Amino acid sequence: MTRQNNIRNNLQRIGRLAGMGRDETIAAIRTRRQILMATAILVIGAITFQFYTGTIPLKYTGISINDFSGFWGMM
């Protein structure tokens, strides 16, 4: 957490050099954060889906689940 806090504090300090307030500093990094969040949600969603249905969403792409049978032992 200390590293995260340092980064946040440094970004706010540097943002102030160009006259940016806290909200604007957050806006600067928003897109990057949104992409990371969306990716994380997708990955978690896919794993959850797999546990519920015993399969993986990839089957809807036309790829046979048997193609991945070798991986089952690892999951």
Partner 1 sequence: MFRKRHILIHTLLEITLKCNMRCIHCGSSAGYKREQELSTSQWINACDQLAELDCKQITLMGGEPLVRNDWYEIGQHVRNRGMNLTIMTNGFLINKNVINQLQTLDPYAVAVSLDGATAETHDSIRGIQGSFERCMQSLELLIDANLPTTVVTTVHKKNFNDLQKMRDFLLNKGIAWQIQLGNPLGRFPNSLTLSPEEFYSIAMFIASTKNQYSIKELPITGAHCMGYHSSVLPNLMIGSWKGCYAGMNVLGIQSNGGIKGCLSLPDEFVEGNIKETNILEVWNDPNAFNYTRNFSKKDLKNYCKECKHGIACGGGCISGSISFTGETHGNPYCLHRIEEEIIAK
Which residues are near partner 1 by CB under 8 A?
3, 6-7, 10-11, 14-20, 24-25, 27-32
Beta-carbon contacts of 55 under 8 Å, excluding residues fewer than 6 positions away, are 65
Nearer to partner 1, 35 or 46 (CB): 35
Q: Which candidate, 73, 37, 75, 39, places its Cα nearest to that of 56?
A: 75
**58 CB-side CA count, 13 A:** 10
Minimum CB distance to partner 1 smaller for 18 or for 75: 18
Min separation Cβ 38 and partner 1, Å: 13
The least CB distance from residue 58 to partner 1, in Å, is 28
